Structure 1
Amino acid sequence: MRLLRVGPPGRERPCVLDREGVVRDVSAWVSDWTGSALDPDFLTDLAGRLAAEATRLPRVDPGARRVGPAVRPGGHLVSIGLNYRDHAEDAGMPVPAEPVVASKSPWTLSGPYDDLLIPPGGDRTDWEVELAVVIGRRARYLPDQHAALGHLAGLCTANDVSERGWLLDRGGQWLKGKSFESFSPLGPYLVTPDEVGDLGSLRLTCRVNGRLMQHSSTTEMIFEVPWLLWYLSQFLVLEPGDVVLTGSPGGVALGRPDEPYLRPGDLVETEVAGLGTQRQRCRRAKTRPGRKGTR
């Protein structure tokens, strides 16, 4: 089943894609894609109900309305760093012995077609196509990686955008370079695991202004999805609606010294095969007049 959220920011309505490819509003059944609505058992029951009653639900034209992030913002947003060997090479860093775990503000979540806002003074804003996994059932001290998939609501295409200047040159945690508004486009769909197939062989691509920049597969991951979720659950309680960005392959601007970082007007297109394609137009974030911060 493919879940999505349609509507203006903060007022998105939960929708599903039915078997005929029609988007249906299911807000009469669930309030939003959050909490218990993401439980795998609930989603299985919902799929059966949808098959029987889809034509009774209102149709939605997503082409005429905004598509929001695939899950409601507010949960934990975890970013895994250097999970592909070629990306570690891009960054000039060693391949990690254990996952590099960073946080992003959950309010970086944005719709798959929303503008990507380059922050004031940002001159090293970088693309990172990634497979995102969304938690559907509390994961706490999982016994092994085989138990992890039973805690998944679904999977999404994501762009784990980073401002490299803040991430690498300002000291401290990577949170600084990853938490600008619009830096986590998610969707268009949250796809339930039964429709995805082998998580270890999904193709990832990113194009900037039509030029292919990233082309890889989850076969190249250092730490695979089930193991990652088991690992995270050993020190972090994962709750329904939490999102884990599982790492970017190589091909980012950081590893292309002769290529520019993102600039206003650029078009970024990211895709994880079977999960949908995103498109973001870059523009400079507007600032409000006021006093500058002091130290």
Structure 2
Amino acid sequence: MKPGSPAVGRRLQIFTGRAHPDLAERISAGLGTALVPTQARDFANGEIYVRHEESVRGADCFLIQSHTHPINTWIMEQLIMIDALKRASARSITAVAPFYGYSRQDKKHKGREPISARLLADLLTAAGADRIITVDLHTDQIVGFFDGPVDHLFALPLLADHVAGLTEHHRLTVVSPDAGRVRVADRWCDRLGVPLAIVHKKRDKDVAHQVSVHEVVGEVEGRVCVLVDDMVDTAGTICAAADALYDAGAEDVIVAATHGILSGPALDRLKNSRVSRFVFTDTLPTAAATGLDKVEVLSIAPLIAQAIREIFENGSVTSLLQDL
């Protein structure tokens, strides 16, 4: 902390829930501080008990909890931890959700459906969160669901620079797995200076996880194709897109995604896929737990740590986004 900094005389405290403590440890290490000890346990009926073991009165508190499986348990734990901080007179509370749950439910597709991403934003605010830090929301509009500040970070520079080092630059083509990811893929193209292709697909809205790939738009024959997405859940979409690229003559396919959710059949699909390499960040613990040689995990901790530092010192989080 520099003398004269606006943060001089204030206390920075970092907390973690039980969802992904390894990431929280890496973030706190990057800040040169230790995690505040917290008791957390479950009662016999599944209720969660939490107690922070140090005074938080007047402190700027950052609570890290990524919404991984079992997602509803960890969201509830984060809400309870925020409530405990608020009732203990914390100066400010920032909810750090590297992966923000329910982000795919950001609008109504049919009548009588919820907008669950908005509901989660309301719950975090009601619990006492003053601010949110998150990484690669499924859609940018979710930022508008919060009444307070939202620092929306992006893993694109981390992922793109790593992928660029895996093969010769002139052989790369960035591929969007569907029309909804074209904007993200276009940002990759701008950063890497490579061409864009799109896999045109149609999902059966009435049958879960059913995807029919129609055609590849763009030149992929003989190219190393980088399929980019914000998340890989059951891996059905991304593996079907990879098959379409190989069928169109791609020499190799690499998948790069921020969030490796990897639910249900995902592990088997990754293992049996023709994709040569899957690159994720550690926003979730699931990618590192696969044990597959073809899965690489890059740490998002330095980016989140720097964002926390900028917020605490009244700096500029926007400065972290200038190279997008």
User: Same fold by TM (over 0.5)?
Assistant: no
Between structure 1 and structure 2, the one with the greater Rg is 2
Structure with greater helix share of residues: 2
Higher RCO (Cα < 8 Å, 6 or more apart): 1
Q: If the length of structure 1 is used for normalisation, what is the TM-score? A: 0.27
Q: If the length of structure 2 is used for normalisation, what is the TM-score? A: 0.25
